[in-house]
Amino acid sequence: MLARFRNSKKRPPCSDTLGMELLAVDQDAMTIRMGFDVSASFSNPTGAIQGGFLTAMLDEAMSTCCIIASNVTMTAPTLELKTSYMRPLFPGRAEAVARILKFGKSTAFMEAELLDPEGRMVAKASATAAPKPFKRF
């Protein structure tokens, strides 16, 4: 599954914008690990990354986790998302760990943590998504 994602020619533009790289997949445990090359262009006036970009990284990780959990048969539009910020993140590298808590026919519950290069938690999110058959619009 990891190779399938890495070799996909249908990578969404938002993944490229966020500098996303899928690092590890455990389909049975419904977890993934994802890396991000965090651009200085996402910085606020203090030099830290603006919170909306952190949330986008967490959303990307959780949505990808749903897609993988469905064996790439479903997409996962987010219905709601809550993010808690623990510390600033600065440009460079970050990693997200995402997991599915419950994957039902009409609803998926997910959570993810975003870690700085030292492995410290920067932000944590929980979300609900509505799995839908995968198709491009």
- For residue range 90-115, what is the model confidence (pLDDT) as tens digits? 999 999 999 999 999 899 999 999 99
What average pLDDT does the segment 41-56 reach?
Answer: 97
DSSP assignment of 18-82: TTEEEEEEETTTTEEEEEEEE-GGGB-TTSSBPHHHHHHHHHHHHHHHHHHHTTSSEE--EEEEE
The pLDDT assigned to 118 comes to 97
How far apart, in Å, are the Cα atoms of 30 and each of 38, 73, 91, 136?
A: 25, 15, 29, 24
CATH of 2-133, one of 3.30.230.10, 3.30.360.10, 3.10.129.10, 3.30.300.30: 3.10.129.10
Overall pTM > 0.85: yes
Domain boundaries, the chain: 2-133
**C-alpha of 34 from chain center:** 7
pLDDT category of residue 137 using cuts at 50, 70 and 90? very low
Average pLDDT, the chain: 91
